[in-house]
A and B are shown apart, each in its own frame.
Chain A
Amino acid sequence: MQSTKTLSASNKLGYNRDRFIKDLNRALMHGIAILISLTAIVPFIVSISASFSTEKALAKGYSLWPKEISLAAYQLIWRAPQELSRSYGVTFFVTVVGTILSLMVMVPFAYALSRDDFKPRRFFSLYLFVTMVFSGGLVPWYLLIRQYLHMNDTIWVMIVPFLVGGFTVIILRSNFAGMPSEIIDSAKIDGAGEWRILIQIATPMTAPTIAALGIFIALGFWNTYFPALLFIDNRKLYPLQYTLYILQTNLEMFIKNPNVTGITIPVVSLRYAMVVLIGAPIVFFTLYFQKYFVKGVYLGGMKE
């Protein structure tokens, strides 16, 4: 926008051709960038539009802007918020507890693996690598959790099997290994034990990396659906993404709600209102913490 303005203004001044081509190029670049950014954003807009549309308008087709605005879908969710709020509770719990436990398990492990003085670290590194290059596949894992550990229909099945990620440990380990050894040595001379070095020196020094990885771990838990698909039958334990998936084929949770009897259910806009309400937090969160996300992608790319 801006560059086109300068373009027309400076044309009157009759400035040289090279400059003109440069500005034109720049305008073109912005044009392309705007176009592909819009491509990325359009599905969001269509979904928001659908959630605010009347069913009648939607029956004619989805659109970028609602042809007839209606709040019916949101009003209905407001009347029967139990499913949504319970799923929020489940996902929130899984995300917070999962992320904290993950970091509590992986950070010390990575730290120990980074210490040269820890002789068995070669063995433990190999122990970790084996799990990264080979797995028994889905079936034994599924049977173990369902039939031997009996973790199905518990909230922990969405957390505990996913606490240790090999790549995350490796990224953390190389970060710890990159710390100047003088700092650790001088702390040792001052009488600090390994746990104290980890908590008071190593962790704060690698905090930006830990934060970036933590955000990605949290994102994984927030988007969890697979363990729910396999192991959760109890509706009270449905995480957000799974609730949304169930809504695709089955609106029972709203139809059977006593608070909405007698109301016509706006089936399409209701689904998209749920998409908006479930998608919005992660979108705002991402925009706010984009710096960390980008760093996390970068770190992931470095080793993944």
Chain B
Amino acid sequence: MYELSSVKTTNVIQTSQTKRKRPGQWLYQNGAWLMMCAPSVVLLFVFSYLPMYGIIIAFKDYKAGRGIFGSEWIGFKNFEFLFTTGKGFDVIQHTVLLNLLFIFTGLVVSLLIAFLLYELYGNFLMKIYQSSLFLPSVLSWVIVAYFTFAFLNTQTGLANQLLKQIGYSKDPIIWYQKADAWPWILMIVTLWKGAGAGSVLYLAGMLTINPEYYESASLDGASKWQQRWFIALPLLRPLIMIQLLLALRGIFSADFGLFYFVTNNSAQLYKTVDVIDTYVYRALVKLGNTGMAAAAGLFQAAVGFVLVMLINWIVRRIDPKWALF
């Protein structure tokens, strides 16, 4: 429609003209594409770019009645408050450490599942295993919270029933107040939900490895696990490295649903599993401390930005195919 075939024949004559394009011609050539971009561009402008301008709230004493522009500038007071009287350091520490825990255990368990499924590949039962392991990943955190509650509630939960049966404790454990246990509980919940889906990529990676490698290794007497350790793992290493790096980009943001619903938002657990995202939410919605919430959010966004850029730079040096840009 836009580029008629005659353009090609008159190309030579037109070059001098196309170098200095008139706006009308430019629009005519790019009109369809610009229209294709328009809805996304508008949506991104409204819901991503406008809020970026709103980061000035972090430097203001925000009062709802005065609005963003009417509120007073107070410099870095919100940040000071966050890190001195607020729990800034705590929630940042929880966020980073828990994310690291989830990322590394997730990697190990996903790899083990991939190895296992690879052994059974082709067997009709393998599909059933894979379906079962994949299923938890599609559930919402709200449903997962109910599942967790069935195990952990004090009077009737399965965990306490089991502990009683093996004679571990006389008094039932009040799990939703036992802060020390929650990093591990959340780790298990995260693994339960995500490891099966996480294995998909590694299984796909393993299937690309030429089986001849294993055959020659097994002729040399290598056991199955030796084959995995000395052949599969080194060949998967680029994939694993990249996945780890990509996951590390997100260590400053927590999965809100996991930390809010699965913990029942229990205040007794804040001292171990309160994270930036739940803290910001509470400061904003429950406590109404908008300025401090904005400061915490901005801090998170800024560090996240640095991490993404840094890791993207590293990833591009390792393998440009995986780099975001």
- Note whether A and B form a binding pair: yes
Interface residues in chain A, defined as those with a beta carbon under 8 Å from any beta carbon in chain B: 25-26, 29-30, 32-34, 36-41, 43-44, 46-47, 50, 58-63, 104-106, 108-109, 111-113, 115, 117-121, 124-125, 127-144, 147, 149, 160-161, 163-164, 169-170, 188-189, 191-196, 198, 219, 222-223, 225-226, 230, 241-242, 244-245, 248, 268, 271-272, 275, 278-279, 282-283, 286-287, 290, 293-294, 297-298, 301-304
Is B256 part of the binding interface, using a Cβ–Cβ cutoff of 8 Å?
A: yes
Quick check: B261 and A298 within 8 Å, CB to CB? Answer: no
Name the A residues within 8 Å of B33 (CB-CB).
112, 115, 118, 120-121, 194
Name the A residues within 8 Å of B131 (CB-CB).
287, 290
Nearest chain B CB to A300 CB, angstrom units: 9
Nearest chain A CB to B300 CB, angstrom units: 6
Nearest chain A CB to B113 CB, angstrom units: 7
Binds A, one of B91-99, B140-148, B173-181, B267-275: B140-148
Nearest chain A CB to B203 CB, angstrom units: 9
**With A140-B51, A230-B285: A134-B43 Cβ-Cβ less than 8 Å:** no
Within 8 A of A (CB), among B10-56: 30, 32-37, 39-41, 43-44, 46-55
Name the A residues within 8 Å of B140 (CB-CB).
222-223, 225, 241, 244
**With A139-B284, A198-B36, A226-B256: A129-B200 Cβ-Cβ less than 8 Å:** no
Name the B residues within 8 Å of A272 (CB-CB).
146, 150
**With A29-B120, A138-B284, A304-B246: A271-B146 Cβ-Cβ less than 8 Å:** yes
**With A219-B138, A275-B143: A41-B51 Cβ-Cβ less than 8 Å:** no
Quick check: B32 and A194 within 8 Å, CB to CB? Answer: yes
5 closest A-B pairs (Cβ-Cβ)? A140-B54, A137-B297, A193-B1, A136-B51, A108-B36
Is B248 part of the binding interface, using a Cβ–Cβ cutoff of 8 Å?
A: no
Quick check: B280 and A244 within 8 Å, CB to CB? Answer: no
Is B183 part of the binding interface, using a Cβ–Cβ cutoff of 8 Å?
A: no
Quick check: A191 and B134 within 8 Å, CB to CB? Answer: no
Write the B297-325 contact mask toward A (1 if CB under 8 angstroms, else 0): 11011001100110000000000001011
**With A132-B324, A226-B256: A36-B135 Cβ-Cβ less than 8 Å:** no
Name the A residues within 8 Å of B138 (CB-CB).
219, 223, 282-283, 286, 293
Write the B132-174 contact mask toward A (1 if CB under 8 angstroms, else 0): 1111111111110111101100011110010000000000000
21 A-B contacts (beta carbon < 8 Å): A29-B120, A36-B133, A40-B196, A43-B148, A46-B147, A58-B156, A59-B156, A63-B158, A109-B37, A134-B305, A136-B48, A136-B52, A140-B54, A143-B290, A198-B36, A222-B140, A225-B140, A271-B146, A283-B138, A286-B135, A294-B200
Is B190 part of the binding interface, using a Cβ–Cβ cutoff of 8 Å?
A: no
Nearest chain B CB to A42 CB, angstrom units: 9
Name the B residues within 8 Å of A271 (CB-CB).
146
CA distance A61 to B160 in the complex (A): 9
Quick check: A137 and B116 within 8 Å, CB to CB? Answer: no
Quick check: B261 and A136 within 8 Å, CB to CB? Answer: no
Q: How many residues of B contact A (CB 8 A)?
A: 99
Quick check: A244 and B50 within 8 Å, CB to CB? Answer: no
Name the A residues within 8 Å of B308 (CB-CB).
132-133
Quick check: A188 and B324 within 8 Å, CB to CB? Answer: no
Nearest chain B CB to A148 CB, angstrom units: 8
Nearest chain B CB to A246 CB, angstrom units: 10
For the residues of B in contact with A, the DSSP-based class is helix
B64 — nearest CB in chain A belongs to which residue?
Answer: A147
CA distance A143 to B322 in the complex (A): 35
Is B227 part of the binding interface, using a Cβ–Cβ cutoff of 8 Å?
A: no
CA distance A290 to B197 in the complex (A): 11
Nearest chain A CB to B306 CB, angstrom units: 10
Partner pick for A124 among B41, B119, B158, B294, CB 8 A cutoff:
B41
Quick check: B157 and A140 within 8 Å, CB to CB? Answer: no
Additional 12 contacts, C-beta under 8 A, given A34-B129, A161-B47, A297-B137:
A32-B116, A33-B117, A44-B147, A60-B156, A134-B304, A143-B57, A160-B43, A169-B40, A170-B324, A193-B32, A278-B143, A279-B139
Name the A residues within 8 Å of B120 (CB-CB).
29-30, 33
Is B125 part of the binding interface, using a Cβ–Cβ cutoff of 8 Å?
A: yes
Quick check: B293 and A138 within 8 Å, CB to CB? Answer: yes
Nearest chain B CB to A3 CB, angstrom units: 9
CA distance A132 to B51 in the complex (A): 13
**With A112-B33, A139-B54: A41-B132 Cβ-Cβ less than 8 Å:** yes
Partner pick for A138 among B204, B246, B280, CB 8 A cutoff:
B280
Quick check: A50 and B150 within 8 Å, CB to CB? Answer: yes
CA distance A242 to B261 in the complex (A): 11
Nearest chain B CB to A278 CB, angstrom units: 7
Quick check: A137 and B298 within 8 Å, CB to CB? Answer: yes
A136 — nearest CB in chain B belongs to which residue?
Answer: B51
Nearest chain B CB to A220 CB, angstrom units: 10
CA distance A215 to B236 in the complex (A): 28
Name the B residues within 8 Å of A230 (CB-CB).
285
Quick check: A141 and B32 within 8 Å, CB to CB? Answer: no
